[in-house]
Amino acid sequence: MKFYNREDELNILKRADKLKNKQAIMTMLIGCRRVGKTTLALQNFSTDKTLYFFVSKKNETLLCEEFSHEIEEKLGVKILGEIKKFEQLFEYLLELGKKQAFTVIIDEFQEFYKINESIYSSIQKLWDLYKNKSRVHFIACGSVYSLMKKIYEDKKEPLFGRADFKIDLKPLKVSVLKEILEDHNAYSPQNLLDFYVLTGGVAKYIELFVLYESLDEQSMIDEIVRSNSLFLDEGKNRLIEEFGKEYGTYFSILSLIASSKTSKTEIESILEKNISGHLSRLENDYNIIKSIKPMGSKVNAKVQKYEIVDNFLAFWFRFIYKYKSIVEAEGYERLKSIIHRDFSTFKGKFLEKLFMELLKEKQIYTSIGNYWERGNQNEIDIVAVDEIDKKLLLCEVKLSAKRLKRDELVRKSVNILQKFKGYEVEYRLLCVDDIDGII
């Protein structure tokens, strides 16, 4: 599959590449697993040589042996003797950087925690010593979000403040998903919605569905729910390492959120335990959920809901994890029938999210969100505010145009209009067929 989008991120890497001729440059590249970090880092943004190190679960000596071969092969040098410590190897690289400019990519950088945590202190010491003398662009890639943030953003950690550039790689935008479907002669507004729900713009899922030529609801679900599917264990593969021993509680919370139990009170009443700390870590440390408050509410308002940021994970917790007993019994046809039965209801919320993403891409609104009042009264699917030109867009979103009612939207907007007095108000009714009109 061809490389799509990422112009902004490539421009950052190109800028860092040029600056390395003045001094060593460090770039922090983070993002969830499968989002395309390695593919981005390996793009041809530099005319200089590139070293790629993958931190696998080996001991330090074996890693250094593997990395030494890469150095000799790519930089055309001969390493005399055996390097057994990463500190020695990193200093050797920075010394080489005095004579020639090159890029060093270390993938799964957070894995050094398990191998030898002191490596980060060694990197900090050597970086400070060689930074002004070496012409190296060092890219640290990591997919365990909480650990990468700790490494670079915790004041107590040795690499705090050392990164010159930060790239937090996000999933591909809706407009790019449309381009991909068009390139494979599979575009329709409905297919775009289903593609958005089941990939969330995550590069690896897109790549697999394109490879399998599965670009509509039926065929994508067939690929997800089958014997030996790569998707069935995906939630566990992506998150258990993040959560550690407490993954059971976190999985229960995420499963409830995916099943529309989106308030702290609802979740706690079912789990019968306080989950304030878990919700905080899921949002702030792991970046897996986000809290949502009604548009126009005060900063300290207690009325809020939670949603899973990653679309595919929301699907996985709603259908795969929830029905794991069926998966374990290999009842794939039974599970597919359940998914097809409930999928329309499930993806209705994602149509709202899709339209929000498209409105954000237009960059004409200063804030976009939802609105509701206590008890989930007077819910408005999309509220877009332009504080500069004093304009307010209120949208009702349904899968079917037949269910859209303008009078109902106007009725529900009475209270929110009091929060935006003097604004020019536009009401809009949106269904799947309106996607083309927004893009």
Q: Residues near 201 by Cβ (< 8 Å), separated by ≥ 6?
A: 170, 171, 172, 173, 174, 176, 177, 311
**Cα distance between residue 8 and residue 294, in whole Å:** 31
DSSP H or E segment with residue 377: strand 377-386
Output the pLDDT for position 302.
79
**Cα distance between residue 21 and residue 136, in whole Å:** 8
Domains identified in the chain and CATH numbers: 7-168 (3.40.50.300), 360-438 (3.40.1350.10)
CA dist 210 to 42, 180, 439, Å? 21, 9, 22
pTM, whole model, 2 decimals? 0.90
Question: By the 8 A CB rule, do 92 and 68 touch?
Answer: no
- The pLDDT profile of the chain, 439 residues, written as one tens digit per residue, is 788 889 999 999 999 999 999 999 999 999 988 999 999 999 999 999 999 999 998 999 999 999 999 999 999 999 988 999 999 999 999 999 999 999 999 999 999 999 999 999 999 999 999 999 999 999 999 987 778 888 998 889 999 999 999 999 999 999 999 999 999 999 999 999 999 999 999 999 999 999 999 999 999 999 999 999 999 999 998 888 788 888 999 999 999 999 999 999 999 999 999 999 999 999 988 889 999 999 988 877 778 999 999 999 999 999 999 999 999 999 999 999 999 999 999 999 999 999 999 999 999 999 999 999 988 899 999 999 999 999 999 999 999 999 999 999 999 999 999 999 999 999 999 999 999 988 7
pLDDT tens by residue, 202-218: 999 999 999 999 999 99
- Closest Cα to residue 350, out of 310, 402, 298, 395? 310
Q: What is the 3-state secondary structure (H, E, C) of 17-73?
A: HHHCCCCCEEEEEECCCCCCHHHHHCCCCCCCEEEEEECCCCCHHHHHHHHHHHHHH
Output the pLDDT for position 299.
76
Output the pLDDT for position 4.
84
pLDDT tens by residue, 339-356: 999 999 999 999 999 999
β-sheet bridge partners, residue 140: 28, 106
Plot region of 228 (φ>0 → left; ψ -120 to 50 → alpha; else → beta): left
Output the pLDDT for position 56.
92
**Angle, alpha carbons 101-106-108 (nearest 5°):** 165
DSSP H or E segment with residue 368: strand 367-373
Output the pLDDT for position 5.
84
